[in-house]
Structure 1
Amino acid sequence: MSSTGDGESRRTVLSLVAAGNFAQLGARFLLSPVVPLVILQFDASESTVGLALTLMWATYALFQFPSGVLADRLGERRLLLTGLAGTAVGTTLIALSPSLVAYGLFAVVLGAGAGLFFSPASSLLSRTFENSGGALGALTAGGALAGVAYPAVGGFLGDTYGWRVAVAAGAAVAIPTLLATAVYLPTTTPANPQRRLAAAIDPSRVVGLLSRPSVAYTTLVAIAVSFTFQAFSSLFPTFLVQYRPGIDSPATAGLVFGAVFGLSSVAQPLAGRLSDRVSRDLAIGSSVALTATGFLLLLFVPGTVGLALGATVLGVGISWPGPVQARFMDQLSDEERGYGFGLVRTVYMFSAAPGSVVVGTLAQRAGWVPAYGVVVAILLACLATLLANELFSLEL
């Protein structure tokens, strides 16, 4: 399948992979609004639960590379189906966790299953659409829509029926999505069926790709924004309950969390199209600046005005995924997109995975201002590198 395929087929592919991203990312988002309930259930701390979530995200990151390699060899369709199946199994196991240790182990299972999905999905869209920024923005918007629906529903289910029922809702969505993908996603021809798996992890080839100046630069940018996303997606509802007066339940925090993602779901396709038509770095830089501003408003502007304004700016700001991923794809040939994109995603997501435990530990020991203050500092450093690339014509 390629960009020369008919429009209806391309729309089918885009709809299915966006729905799959909605399901696999939403299953993980369900864990965030019920963190306070899990802490009470297992008599745990923010840092301990943050560590469990970090392990999930780290596992998710580690599976990006092998999923990209296998997609090149076997075709994206098989990997997408396996990823959705793993998401359903992992979510079900978490809902049945008898202890915090089991919760952490099953979170790793969820991370592994979900980790098989995104790289093949991105590779498939890049092969299907000539201008991939908009398509990748729509893919990530599916994840952002998950951020609208899942936290609000999860918070309500958690308050009403308990956190286990809330988490189990992830499997209830992943299973029908898996079935629809199995029935309607066209068979995909592997991009490189002759690829030898041993050659794919050749150290010289790995180092060669990662050391390309433009790839290395984009990887640093991706680490910064991904660290921010880990800290936000894992702990933002807990931050709202503990720091913002007037928000005293997971359900209310889930509604605000969902509103942020609702705005993000609108902003992400727009950022993707902006990156196609004007500049990848302009789209990324605008997103980074708005995100930092949103965090500052939430930290330092009190009352309903501060909450509404901060959440709005933050939601519009979290629109970088499509432009960042399109920037990577610009650096990779058709033959290495599955392999190369999987590799860089593993590197930047694994590097950023400590966002949950770092911010959770800082919040527990020093408070939320230092915790999210670190996030703002990282975003400002990222913005400085983007400006330097433009001002000094580094052409990275």
Structure 2
Amino acid sequence: MAQRSGRELLGVATAAFFVTMVARLAPSPLVPDIMDAFVVTKSEVGVALTGMWAAYALFQFPGGVLADRYGERRVVLLAMGATGVASTVLAAAPTFPLFAAFAVTLGAAAGLYFTAGTAFLTAQFEDTGRALGIHEIGASSAGLVAPVASAYAATRFGWRAGPLVPATVAVVVLVLFAWRAPRTPPADPGQSLTEQLDVRRLLALLARPSVLFTTVLAMVAFFTWQAFASFFPTFLVEYADVPTGRASLVFGAVFALTIGGAPALGWASDATGRDATFGASLLAGIAGYVLFLFAEGTAAVVAGTLLVGIGLSWPGVLNSRFMDVLAEDERGTGFGLVRTVVLLVSSLGSGVTGTIADRAGWLPAYGLVAGLMGLLVVLLVANQALGVDA
């Protein structure tokens, strides 16, 4: 593949991932305005947004099924179009029940993308780790851009302008992807939908040692990611006595670090191996949490921020590990299935962390996060010694 072509494909795929993440993050800064507009409570808005994220997790699997049947390119284009439409109707929702329904629809539309996009890049690039690491920039940059862009649009034009930000970008990315991405054939056009969704076949795939081990790693790892994303700024304010403004700055800095960290770890995983790179990232994250839990002062905050940023840059490495253990014709349906399982289980990270923090404090809450990361390191070492996933 020509260097220019490779860069273009990575660019449009990363932009597509960016769209799906911005669309899901855009409503968050608008919650107070949504409450006022529809005269509803925080919990009611929370239920709607929870439904959106649950739909995103559940539609990883259908996205994979469709990618296998019709080709990854078509599914990516469908996801971009559906995300743009869903964001638009969300902005126009006349009542809260419709707002909630459109939020769930938005989650489903965005959920179609990731499995197809990952399989698309895996088929286009030999250095899968590097490609999927760069792909993660879409999520990291969305975490920085979405809240600011959505809040700014809402301030200038009202809250309904917030969801129109991703709707507009989705149209642009849809056109670019259709223009630059090559057509992709179905993975197995002769396979019927019944064969594709055969329960025994899918359970056998999940039970395969290499897939099962990687799935366990991903469930625990994304659990810790969810714990960070949900409560880290609050943890800094209440436990580490960091002022609110500085806590937000640290939180944003961690995401900014992953913009460079994810491609770097992806490249390293291609050169030195997935597990060694993943383990090094986890050890950095553990060290960062230890600094935030037990050290004081500006130097500890700066060092902890850097280490936690490295410790959260592993998603591309784990996704590459999945691609390594899945056959080419399993990277749609198979990867979609494990993604749905992983995201549903790891979503418990928010509730568990918040509950422990309420009942026992932040030290055991984030001590558990660091401990789970340590458990992952132990599992990686054990696998290296015993060949658990052989």
Same fold flag (TM > 0.5): yes
Q: 1:380 to 1:203 in 2, by over 3 A?
A: same
Match of 1:14 among 6, 10, 23: 10
Tell me if the contact between 2:209 and 2:388 (Cα under 8 Å) persists in the aligned partners: no
Do residues 383 (structure 1) and 374 (structure 2) align? no
Q: Identify the residue that residue 173 of structure 1 maps to in structure 2.
A: 169
Cα distance in 2 between the residues matched to 1:204 and 1:326: 25
Shifted more, 348-357 versus 25-34: the winner is 25-34
Q: Identify the residue that residue 42 of structure 2 maps to in structure 1.
A: 44
User: Counterpart amino acid of 2:280?
Assistant: S
Do residues 270 (structure 1) and 270 (structure 2) align? no
Cα distance in 2 between the residues matched to 1:258 and 1:173: 22
Cα distance in 2 between the residues matched to 1:22 and 1:112: 16
- Per-residue CA distance 1:71-110 (angstroms, 9 max, x = gap): 1110111111121223233434555567876665443222
How far is the alpha carbon of 1:303 from its aligned partner? 5.0
Do residues 310 (structure 1) and 304 (structure 2) align? yes
How far is the alpha carbon of 1:236 from its aligned partner? 3.9
Cα distance in 2 between the residues matched to 1:154 and 1:254: 17
Q: 1:387 to 1:55 in 2, by over 3 A?
A: farther
Match of 2:66 among 62, 70, 74: 70
Do residues 326 (structure 1) and 320 (structure 2) align? yes
How far is the alpha carbon of 1:289 from its aligned partner? 2.2
Residues matched between the structures, number: 388
Equivalent residue of 2:244, what SS? coil
The unaligned stretches of length 5 or more in structure 2 are none
Q: Where does 1:83-94 land on structure 2 (aligned, <5 Å)? A: 83-94=79-90
Q: Identify the residue that residue 144 of structure 2 maps to in structure 1.
A: 148
Tell me if the contact between 1:298 and 1:310 (Cα under 8 Å) persists in the aligned partners: yes
How far is the alpha carbon of 1:158 from its aligned partner? 6.6
Tell me if the contact between 1:54 and 1:353 (Cα under 8 Å) persists in the aligned partners: no
TM-score, structure 2 as length reference = 0.86
Q: Identify the residue that residue 190 of structure 1 maps to in structure 2.
A: 186
RMSD: 3.1
- Per-residue CA distance 1:117-167 (angstroms, 9 max, x = gap): 011111111111122111111111222222232244456667787765445
Tell me if the contact between 1:32 and 1:151 (Cα under 8 Å) persists in the aligned partners: yes
Q: Where does 1:336-375 land on structure 2 (aligned, <5 Å)? A: 336-363=330-357, 367-375=361-369
Q: Identify the residue that residue 226 of structure 2 maps to in structure 1.
A: 230
How far is the alpha carbon of 1:207 from its aligned partner? 1.2
Identity %: 43
Shifted more, 315-324 versus 148-157: the winner is 148-157
Q: Identify the residue that residue 213 of structure 2 maps to in structure 1.
A: 217
Q: 1:42 to 1:255 in 2, by over 3 A?
A: farther
Shifted more, 57-66 versus 321-330: the winner is 57-66
Cα distance in 2 between the residues matched to 1:392 and 1:43: 52
Tell me if the contact between 2:213 and 2:388 (Cα under 8 Å) persists in the aligned partners: no
How far is the alpha carbon of 1:381 from its aligned partner? 1.9
Cα distance in 1 between the residues matched to 2:202 and 2:193: 13
User: Counterpart amino acid of 1:57?
Assistant: W
